[in-house]
Amino acid sequence: MTKRILTGSGHISGENLLVTGDGPVELREGRKRRAFRLGIACSELVRYGLDMTKRSRFIRASTDIVVSDYS
């Protein structure tokens, strides 16, 4: 979905986009288009707190900011 939005929006440049996600795919797609990327590294088991595995993936994907959850 993110890739379709980014490639189909001819009038929006990457510098004007914020891509959020809890997986590395959408964040990598945002990086390709120079969007600002916010990774949500929340534990899917308990729905709060930091998931260190996701955090590591986001760091490898060059995510701009990684947060644990919205609380």
> For residue 26, how many other CB atoms are within 10 A of its CB?
21
Under 8 Å CB-to-CB from 1, ≥6 apart: which residues?
26
Q: Which residue has the higher pLDDT, 13 or 25?
A: 25
* 3-state secondary structure at position 34: coil
The reported pLDDT for the residue numbered 10 is 59
* pTM higher than 0.85: no
Domains of the chain: 2-67 (3.40.50.1000)
pLDDT tens figures, 24-71 = 788 888 888 889 999 999 988 888 889 999 999 888 888 999 999 877
